[in-house]
Structure 1
Amino acid sequence: MKMPIALQLWSVKEEAEQDFFGTLEKVASMGYDGVEFAGYYGKSAQEIKAKLKELGLKIAGSHISMEDILQNTDKVIEFEQELGNKYIVCPWANFPTIEEWNDFAEKMQKTGAKIAAAGLSLLYHNHNHEFARNDDEFILDRLFKAVPAGYLNAELDTYWLEYAGINAIDYLDKWKDRTPLIHVKDLDASKRESTEVGNGSLNIKGIVEKAYENGTEWLIVEQEAFTQPPLVSVEIGLQNLQTIVASL
């Protein structure tokens, strides 16, 4: 079975800010199977749902701020249910002390339980700072150990894993039962920044193979640094990833 590919719309945020639906049209025309949201640009859930249906795009997930997830949980659940999105992703959290990380884990467990009761799923997306160690253990590992899989799963970002000096394939294997979504983001090792998927230093084929093995539901393309227009780059990334997926 072909694994679907989505675009994290943060990659084209400037274009989306100017013309959200026009950007969705361009993403669909490239051949993406779906999108992962990074904001809704003032559109209602029904408006977005109708546009996605028109374009034949599915929803991989949505990045929603930690503050909204924890403080406006009911509103978030209501909007995402109306939209038809299953995966609510916390894209960023950072704290100066382990006590604050522990408090965050407790809050995520309570909120994740509420989200799960509504039939949705809460995920956490990593950067590199979560690979600081506490008692010789990564903070990210502590988080996933503290919160049961039923209440919190992982959206692992391959770029940030490798940026932190972690082998992405090994880490995907470590949390293989908790990775429904994966950010397939490539690394330009010479510049230490992201580049088109398939044009960098990461073993994208190995990552995709591990994703298949793990039962991952979506491969999500993301890019944050560009040497050409973002819409051009994310189309190149899609084409490269499609070639890899087709070869498996």
Structure 2
Amino acid sequence: MKNRRNFLQQLGLLSAGVAFAPAILTSCDSSTQKNTEAGENAGGTATTTATTGTIKDIGLQLYTLRELLPHNIKDVVRKVAEAGYNDVETYGYSVKDGYWGLDPKQFKELLSANNIVSSSGHYDFAQFMTDGNPDIVKRYTEAGKTIGQTYITVPWLAEELRNSLDDYKHIAQRLNNAGQLCQEAGLKLAYHNHDFEFTPYGNTSGFEVLLQETDPALVNFEADLYWIVRAGHQPVDIFQKNQGRFVMWHVKDMDNNSPDLNTEIGAGSIDYQSIFDKAEVSGVDRIFVEQENFAANMDPFQSIKQSHSFVKDSLLA
């Protein structure tokens, strides 16, 4: 996890024209850290909320399989489908190398051949947060539209971008700008949290600033449930205060003995049933399983299959 943060910090210094390495780009880690409508109108304003009854597809954040993807993307996607998933969330898109060596059209064809969609993708926004140049966002929306994504998601922010409330206010304005660009392209913007956003500044936090100063018509949120719990908060409390804004979830469990490690969904310490029972309040319509580490004797594909089965049979039943 620590290594990934360092990679992201380094990559944030690169220009948008530089080809980023897909295997090390953005997803969901932190050192402290189908195209479907989410009951929203074309402008992105929430009009209704989803329930677990409307969540038919269980997605996988492909960062889970980052050690395997660069070696044989076709085999990995096939095995993801065999594990039961029919949606994937991408990370690490590169203008030069596309998605693990496939351009957006080729990647879309691979997904379709395995009856998989990609409704969201994580894209690096470090440069946009710094200079506001719209070109990089436009490149993301072009790629995302080609593979059929609904959400362009901001996955992580380097530490130097988020050291004060003023920094978060700046980030919020940039998110509004990016959200407008996504809306003009027929897509939606989302922001994915870690734990650092919950660092207190007096009686508020960076996360509160992001929620309060972003336009709900332009900026959605992807709740990483693990990181919310890790930060000492209850996801349901946050959903109730900000109803309808958390259109996507990352579902990953916390190891019972080592909270900094993940484990298979249902095998850890997070009470997911109580969270899924309040899905309607969240507004969620897409969920993505993610696991950032595996036990030494665990086959990653067996792991994701086990998590899929628990979500399907226990949480969405």
Give the TM-score of the pair, scaled to structure 2. Answer: 0.74
Q: Does 1:96 align with 2:155?
A: no
After alignment, is 189-198 or 83-92 more displaced? 189-198
Alignment of 1:98-247 (within 5 A): 98-192=165-259, 193-227=261-295, 228-247=298-317
The 8 Å contact of residues 225 and 250 in structure 2, kept in 1 or not, is answered as yes
> Bigger relative contact order, structure 1 or 2, given CA contacts below 8 A and separation 6+?
2
Specify the code of the residue in structure 2 equivalent to 1:51. Answer: L
Q: What is the aligned residue count?
A: 247
Other structure's SS at 1:14 match: coil
Q: 2:71 and 2:243 mapped to 1: Cα distance?
A: 38
Q: 1:220 and 1:153 mapped to 2: Cα distance?
A: 16
The 8 Å contact of residues 106 and 147 in structure 1, kept in 2 or not, is answered as yes
The 8 Å contact of residues 54 and 285 in structure 2, kept in 1 or not, is answered as no
Q: 1:60 and 1:138 mapped to 2: Cα distance?
A: 29
Query: Quick one: which of 88, 103, 113 aligns to 1:54?
Result: 113
| Superposed displacement of residue 225, structure 1 | 2.0
Deviations 1:38-76 (A, max 9, x none): 131121111111111111112131011113665411111
Q: Which has the higher helix share?
A: 1
Specify the code of the residue in structure 1 equivalent to 2:195. Answer: N
Long gaps (5+) in structure 2:
1-52, 93-98
Q: Does 1:77 align with 2:141?
A: yes
Specify the code of the residue in structure 2 equivalent to 1:74. Answer: K
Deviations 1:88-132 (A, max 9, x none): 111101422222222121111111111112111111111101001
Query: Quick one: which of 71, 88, 96 aligns to 1:18?
Result: 71
Specify the code of the residue in structure 1 equivalent to 2:138. Answer: D
Other structure's SS at 2:216 match: coil
Label 1:214 to 1:115 Cα distance change in 2 as closer, same or farther (>3 A). same
Q: 1:79 and 1:126 mapped to 2: Cα distance?
A: 23
The 8 Å contact of residues 122 and 155 in structure 2, kept in 1 or not, is answered as yes
Counting aligned pairs with the same residue, the percent is 28
Measured on the aligned residues, the alpha-carbon RMSD in Å equals 1.6
Specify the code of the residue in structure 1 equivalent to 2:253. Answer: D
| Superposed displacement of residue 230, structure 1 | 2.1
Other structure's SS at 1:15 match: coil
Other structure's SS at 1:177 match: coil
Q: 1:223 and 1:134 mapped to 2: Cα distance?
A: 30
After alignment, is 226-235 or 54-63 more displaced? 226-235
Q: Does 1:33 align with 2:103?
A: no
Label 1:2 to 1:30 Cα distance change in 2 as closer, same or farther (>3 A). farther
Give the TM-score of the pair, scaled to structure 1. Answer: 0.94
Specify the code of the residue in structure 1 equivalent to 2:287. Answer: L
